[in-house]
Amino acid sequence: MSESREILQAVRDGAMSVDEALLKLKTAPFEDIGFAKIDHHRAVRQGVPEVIYGAGKTPEQIAAIIGAMRRAGQETILITRLSPDSATAVERSVPLVYHPEGRIGIIGPLPAPSGLGTVVVATGGTSDQPVAEEAALTAQVLGNRVVRLYDVGVAGLHRLLAHLDDIMGASVIIAIAGMEGALASVIGGLADCPVIAVPTSVGYGASFGGVTALLSMLNSCASGVSVVNIDNGFGAGFLASRINHMGTPSAPLPKEDSAV
């Protein structure tokens, strides 16, 4: 933090402009703890702090990364793809709230919603809920109000149509489905907001582990539908938050006019 302090002092003393200081803070170095290089300044550059990807890391490594983040002042920490065994081990050293269905670990308080509106997370079936919970919890940790509409797939379209108020009132909709992935096209034809489609690996043999749903969503005839990778609930929740926060007071301010 010493370099950040020097930058702030330079601004105070008039030796550095605000724009120069912001640029330096955005390009400030990371913290190297040997097995990981933690980007403490990501929140300055991108508006969201670094997230821990839990798969492939030992509980000891996760706990050490959490410790470094907390020492740097990060209050809320999101851990994705965290196994139940790793969660149990991490809980012994740090306070952790674990959500097993979405394989999400959260440290610290959830922020109050600061987005422009509501993020709706809809699934084709109950089997898609693990991916949906990853998306919904990610969006909540990033400061969004989330409404969950689960098991509203096209096999019983009346279930989706019963929630038209939620669909029409959303700022962003995450449509999550396996099988043939038709839910995204149906929602895309109803909503006037961006729709983020998430194919899941749910389905029988010809679904090819989610490839069928992926191709169906990529070929959607509904305008305004974008697609993330198979089972990528985190990516969908993150993108939905970006969209839902565009134009909010937390967004970067435009540069001042230099004309006199």
pLDDT at residue 20, rounded to an integer: 81
pLDDT of residue 27: 60
Taking the alpha carbons at both ends of the chain, their separation in whole angstroms is 35
CA 204 to chain centre: 28
Say if pTM beats, i.e. exceeds, 0.95: no
Under 8 Å between Cβ of 78 and 46: no
- What are the tens digits of pLDDT across the range 10-30? 888 888 888 887 776 666 667
Regarding the domain delimited by 118-244, which CATH topology (the fold level of the hierarchy) does it fall under?
A: Rossmann fold (3.40.50)
- pLDDT for residue 254 is more than 60: no
Distance (Å, rounded) from C-alpha 216 to C-alpha 66? Answer: 39
Stretch among 3-7, 89-93, 189-193 having the lowest mean pLDDT? 3-7
The whole-angstrom separation of Cα 165 and Cα 149 is 12
Report the percentage of the chain scoring pLDDT > 90: 68
Maximum Cα–Cα distance across the chain: 68
For residue 248, pLDDT beyond 70? no
User: In the chain, what percentage of residues exceed pLDDT 70?
Assistant: 90
pLDDT digits (tens, 9 = 90+) for 200-220: 999 999 999 999 999 999 999
Where along the chain do its domains lie?
27-107, 118-244
d(CA 221, CA 213): 14
Average pLDDT of the segment spanning 63-70: 90
Q: Residue 146 is encoded by which pair of tokens?
A: 């989330």
- How far apart CA 58 and CA 62 sit, in angstroms, is 6
pLDDT band at 88 (very low <50, low <70, confident <90, very high): very high
Please name the residue that has the structure tokens 């565009």: 246
Q: Is the pLDDT of residue 3 over 70?
A: no
Task: Give the chain as a DSSP string.
Answer: -HHHHHHHHHHHTTSS-HHHHHHHHHTPPPEE-SS-EE-TTHHHHHSS---EE-TT--HHHHHHHHHHHHHTT---EEEES--HHHHHHHHTTS--EEETTTTEEEESPPPPP-SSSEEEEEESSGGGHHHHHHHHHHHHHTT-EEEEE-S--GGGHHHHHTTHHHHHT-SEEEEEE-TT-THHHHHHTT-SS-EEEEE-S-S-GGGGGGHHHHHHHHT-SSTTEEE--TT-HHHHHHHHHHHHTTTSTTSPPPPPP---
- Give exposure, 82-99, as e/b (b: 16+ Cβ within 10 Å): beeebbebbeeeeebebe
Range name among 43-47, 50-54, 133-137, 192-196 with the lowest pLDDT average = 43-47
- What pLDDT was estimated at residue 22? 76
Strands 37-38 vs 31-32: parallel, antiparallel or unpaired: antiparallel
Q: Return the bridge partners of 148, or none.
A: 121
